[in-house]
A and B are shown apart, each in its own frame.
Chain A
């Protein structure tokens, strides 16, 4: 009983000052990481990706053979990925945000799976001659990837993903419109429009 009373009356052990300082520094870092997720997606990079996609759409539309069409779009997708990655690294360096931060890691983990699914479906759909369906799959799965990554980013990013998904329904419900129009509208115009908005609102 007396032992318990002694323990209760004992003042709490003070936190050493350097531990408190470390705690404050850690709090600043985690808060900045959480807030930093808003700048994970590069607006200028999106606009550059959109510009190359418009060029690719014109090139692909003028290709009569399916092989030429798919080669153009696959090359464009590889180029767009490189542009997006380069601009993301540039923006992270400019804002001194490590790409290994919590927000970046979540973004990197959630963005690629849907893209890989799209890449896996490309070959069989191309071989089956289902090019309209392929265009739809690309837009839909890119939209899914953007929504998944956008959960850890600014609200405008998942909104862009939804726009891609809605556009991805186009080749399925209105196949009379050339598929390159949908791809141009999605990978070209949506990227430029949303990229501009991200650039103006969040910078970079």
Chain B
């Protein structure tokens, strides 16, 4: 789809194509905290709950809620274990999560290109 946006067909405006595709935009990772989780894990996977919290600067509750949504969608794999008596939660990005981020990035880049093409 992103390839289609790049190869603007004759007679069609690139922005129109982007607008047509907008309903398909990966809304799940559009939200800032979820986008942060996916981006951080794309750069370094796995990350513990504490490491992700440090990187994103969010609260425990916020990270729990958003990571759960990504996990349910199949974008995140979560492994829970114990280090001695301390619980440890480790997240990693699934192939579906990687694809979703790549698709989202393609959308954003296509939007920028289309708007610049208009200017």
Contact = CB atoms under 8 A, between A and B. Distances in A.
> Do these two chains really belong together in a complex?
yes
Interface of A: 16-18, 21-22, 24-25, 27-28, 31-36, 38-39, 95, 97, 202
Contacts of A16: 115
A97 B43 contact: yes
24 contacts: A16-B115, A17-B111, A18-B111, A21-B108, A21-B115, A25-B105, A27-B36, A28-B35, A31-B35, A31-B39, A31-B40, A31-B56, A32-B42, A34-B55, A35-B39, A35-B40, A35-B41, A35-B43, A35-B44, A36-B43, A36-B44, A38-B44, A39-B43, A95-B43
Contact size range, B: 20 to 34
Contacts of A202: 44
Interface in B74-119: 101, 105, 107-109, 111-112, 114-116
B51 A38 contact: yes
A24 B109 CA distance: 10
B44 to A, nearest CB: 4
A197 to B, nearest CB: 14
The A interface, classified by DSSP as helix, strand, loop or mixed, is helix
B112 A18 contact: yes
Given A21-B108, A25-B105, A28-B105, 4 more contacts: A21-B112, A27-B39, A31-B40, A35-B55
Nearest to B48: A155
B47 interface: yes
